[in-house]
Amino acid sequence: MNRRRLRVLVTNDDGIAAPGLRWLAKAAHEEGCDVVVAAPEREASGTSAALTVVTDEGRVRVNRADLPELDVPAFSVAASPSYITILAGLEAFGPPPDIVVSGINRGANAGHAILHSGTVGAAVTAANGGARAMAVSLDVLTAAMADSARGGAAIAAIDAVDDADRHWDTAAALARRLLPWLAGTEPGTVVNLNVPDRPLDGVELREATLARFGQVQMAIAETGEGYVRVAIEERGDEQDPGTDVALLAGGHATITPLRSLSHATDVVLPPDVIGRG
């Protein structure tokens, strides 16, 4: 009896033209999965699980896309990553996916800052709909901090590196390695994978807790009449051992199982107001 191939949706928040998307789709395809790619037509970073979409008379704009050197169906969609995963579950791009893989994001998604990530948001939304999901990100900041002054210089150094020279293959290889395991987990399972921007040889995968914050933080750079200008800065505080940010700084890849939104049963509500009209 022929077993049905694993159906995998590949999406991201960096947009349909992002190199990490192609590497991730290639990895799933080479693993023997039935792959479909659907990604935002433009960058949608920081959208979290937002359900944003561009419509024309109620129609979502969806166009066929070509991915160089990869023969899988691909679609450019005028919507956020999370909206795209919902469309996929409704069979907008063919049979619904068993697994959604989101990425490879250009930059780590670590710590509690993942709340704001469109990459992670797509995975969590897919898991909330019953699919298994994995968010995949490439840590491009740690190496920049090692080669540059701290703070703004390190952030600026990220853009000085040609994306073609980054180690997308390392992140893709680790994601591919996890796919068979993920396929055997309970529906709704979601994991967050962060990978250092270095060759695969010698990179160890460690389970990590979420750091209290992410790698960077927002700061007020300037205020004036009618405006505020913000800047992105590296966090200078010490990271707790065993967290994703600390392990990434040590050159390790990290994996963290995540839980979709659920009822917080440990919160005690005031009994004197419950039930009052």
- Residue 272 counted as domain residue: no
pLDDT, one tens digit per residue, over 59-112 is 999 999 999 889 999 999 999 999 999 999 999 999 999 999 999 999 999 999
Instruction: Decide if 123 is inside a domain.
Output: yes
Residues 270, 271, 274, CA angle at the centre, nearest 5°?
Answer: 90
Mean pLDDT of 195-221: 88
Per mean pLDDT, which range of 16-30, 118-132, 157-171, 179-193 is the poorest? Answer: 157-171
* Integer-rounded Cα radius of gyration of the chain: 19
Pick left, alpha or beta for residue 26 (phi over 0 → left; psi -120 to 50 → alpha; otherwise beta).
Answer: alpha
Residue with tokens 């800065």: 233
What's the whole-model pTM score?
0.89
- The structure tokens listed for 92 are 């907008």
Computed over every residue of the chain, the mean pLDDT equals 89
pLDDT band per the 50, 70, 90 thresholds, residue 130:
very high
* Beta carbons within 8 Å of 38's beta carbon, 6+ residues apart: 9, 10, 11, 74, 75, 77, 84, 87, 88, 92, 93
Let me know if residue 53 belongs to a domain. Answer: yes
Q: What is the CATH number of the domain that holds 67?
A: 3.40.1210.10
The gap between the terminal CA atoms of the chain, to the nearest Å, is 61
In a domain, 77, yes or no: yes
pLDDT at residue 1 in the model:
43
Containing structural domain, residue 96:
7-212+240-258
Please report whether residue 277 resides in a domain.
Answer: no
Is 111 part of any domain? yes
Of the pLDDT bands very low, low, confident and very high (cuts 50, 70, 90), residue 238 is: low
Kindly state whether residue 69 falls inside one of the protein's structural domains.
Answer: yes
Q: Is residue 104 one of the residues assigned to a domain?
A: yes
Domain count, the chain: 1
Q: What percent of the chain has pLDDT over 90?
A: 64
